[in-house]
Amino acid sequence: MKITVATKNPGKTREISRILRSFLPDVPLEIADLTAGGAFYESPEETGSTFMENAEMKARCAWEKLGPSAGLVLGEDSGLEVDYLHGLPGVRSHRFSGPAATDEQNNAALLKKLEGVPWEKRTARYRCAMVLVDGGAVVARSEGTVEGFILMAPRGTGGFGYDPLFYCPELGKAFGESSAEEKNKVSHRARALAGLAPVLRRMCQTQRENL
Ligand code: IMP
């Protein structure tokens, strides 16, 4: 079963691919993303006010550009919500400190905004919304979150994005200090994918029956 993840972020594709293969070990999966055609593929502007709206926009846009060759299309939008900042960076996580911001610049901007804020007020969560499109129509939606705290300084080099600043109480360490297996057990992305796995399993069964 072919799935195109509507992203150019290889960090996300890597995680989604590992998680889906662990949920569906018996389903033959071919997972692609938009990096191959990256030079000409214009990502849609993320104008939605929620992760779910943006996830759907990304999935529909990829389907319109790629058509049936994409197989199923998985739209994903995710980010960090910091309670002290009333939910920011939220849907602006990728471009928190400017349109072409690097992860390092975003992390520095976040630390600056939380300067002097005590530990108990540094609560945050990652949120991930996913939309599955088949033949141009939305067939499933799912959302996942993981709760944590924003550290006073980066820890570790694992993961991507805000991971060195995200302390996960469930793991007892920062995502930046965690292995891929550890992060994938509890992450917002894994929890969103857990909602989609039964749908994908059923679709695979139907495909087999129709062969
Ligand atoms: P998107 O490509 O618009 O969905 O951007 C999501 C942004 O949210 C990423 O560029 C990261 O800054 C942040 N983000 C989402 N998920 C994660 C994660 O698992 N780890 C670290 N940062 C994340």
pTM score over 0.85: yes
Domain coordinates in residue numbering, the chain? 2-209
Residue 56 CB less than 6 A away from ligand 1: no
How much is the pLDDT for 52?
Answer: 97
Nearest CA to ligand 1 atom 11: 161
CA of 209 to the centre of ligand 1 (A): 38
Residue 107 CB less than 6 A away from ligand 1: no
How much is the pLDDT for 35?
Answer: 87
Residue 187 CB contacts under 8 Å (≥ 6 apart), including other chains? 15, 19, 126, 128, 144, 146, 175
Nearest CA to ligand 1 atom 14: 79
CB 77 within 8 A of CB 7: no
Residue 79 CB less than 6 A away from ligand 1: yes
| CATH class in words for 2-209 | alpha beta
CB 81 within 8 A of CB 90: yes
Residue 51 CB less than 6 A away from ligand 1: no
Catalytic residue, candidates 77, 83, 103, 163? 77
* 211 residues of the chain, pLDDT tens digit each: 999 999 988 888 999 999 999 999 999 999 999 987 654 566 777 788 999 999 999 999 999 999 999 999 999 999 999 999 999 999 999 999 998 999 999 999 999 999 999 999 999 999 999 999 999 999 999 999 999 999 999 999 998 999 999 999 999 999 999 999 999 999 999 999 999 999 999 998 888 888 7
How much is the pLDDT for 44?
Answer: 75
Nearest CA to ligand 1 atom 15: 79
Nearest CA to ligand 1 atom 8: 79
How much is the pLDDT for 140?
Answer: 97
Residue 9 CB less than 6 A away from ligand 1: yes
